[in-house]
A = this chain, B = another copy of it.
Amino acid sequence: VLDAYQMRDLTDAIRPTTLLRPEKLRDKLGLDITCASEAFQHTGSFKFRAAYNVAMNVPNDHLYTASSGNFGQALAYAAKLTGKKCTVVMPDRSAKVKIEAVRSYGADVDLIDTAKIGRSQRIEQLAADMPDAYFASPYDDEFVIAGNSSLADELAGEDFDVVVVPVGGGGLISGIVKGIKRNNQTTVVFGAEPLLGNDAARSLREGRLISNENEPTTIADGARTISLGRLNWPIIKENVKEIIEVSEQKIAAAVKMLYDLANLKCEPTSGLSLGAVLEDTPKFADKKICVVVTGGNVDAEVYKQLIS
């Protein structure tokens, strides 16, 4: 569904990504690096692209998802903008500030005790209770992938040799490769995944979809996924050159580098893409590189540790 999103409506609503070329970072690494920052996107992450595309395109008046992170906020705001009802399932131990953020956009927060009921179980209940509502997966949804592909349209004019994209469920990287193809670009796409949750890297190496045994404990909380989505896997398998596994140390180093050398506040998951470059710098020599900075929402306590 290359044309699942309605270009005109999306480009009116989403904010263009912020392209930054920090000379201190470029000089330090000796690389031609551009950051595409989604930290200033609506609700502070790229997820708004996906969420708004869902809200615009499905006929249902009620949307729901399970997300304690950026997709919950993004879907809540997209629903508000499009006059729809929204329900977000979140663990009851989620940070208050995240619960409040979702509520501030007018969505209902459905708090669950994950010791008693799993997220997918609760989603099944809701599906039975609200047959007319639309369940939006944060990554495994055609409208989500198509919404995310709008970022590739924006990058197309820059003629990057390489784009490095954080990978959790695979919704962003799937969108990026679809968008690159739609724009007839030859940009090579690298994934960047936490070593602690390297299901996608293992899947790509072995040619079959592999899951993590448990939710990864990585600091990159946007990549604490069990596996790639069903829709994402075939797109990634066919189009992604390599998924680089990034250590926790390099994720943290990347977040600090973006603080020190680019004046950019970013969330840990955003550190994956620059972290991948740090893992294998020679691979990127003499290339025009884009690292996607997925978002900026990070608790002050976590961030303080990272910039120390």
Contact = CB atoms under 8 A, between A and B. Distances in A.
Max chain B C-beta neighbours (<10 A), residue from A24, A27, A304: A24
A216 interface: no
B40 A259 contact: no
A20 B40 contact: yes
Given A263-B44, A263-B265, A303 B297 contact: no
A70 to B, nearest CB: 12
Contacts of A40: 18, 20, 22, 262-264
A23 interface: yes
Contacts of A237: none
A76 to B, nearest CB: 12
A307 interface: yes
Contacts of A303: 307
A304 B296 contact: no
A121 interface: no
B263 A259 contact: no
Contact of A300 (B20, B24, B296, B308): B308
A295 B262 CA distance: 11
A260 interface: yes
A114 interface: no
A304 B308 contact: yes
Contact of A104 (B27, B265, B300): B27
28 contacts: A18-B18, A18-B40, A20-B40, A22-B40, A23-B42, A23-B43, A23-B77, A24-B44, A24-B101, A27-B104, A39-B263, A40-B262, A40-B263, A40-B264, A256-B300, A259-B265, A260-B300, A263-B265, A263-B295, A263-B296, A263-B297, A264-B265, A265-B265, A300-B307, A300-B308, A303-B307, A304-B304, A304-B308
Given A20-B40, A259-B265, A263-B295, 9 more contacts: A18-B18, A27-B104, A39-B263, A44-B263, A259-B300, A263-B265, A264-B265, A265-B265, A304-B307
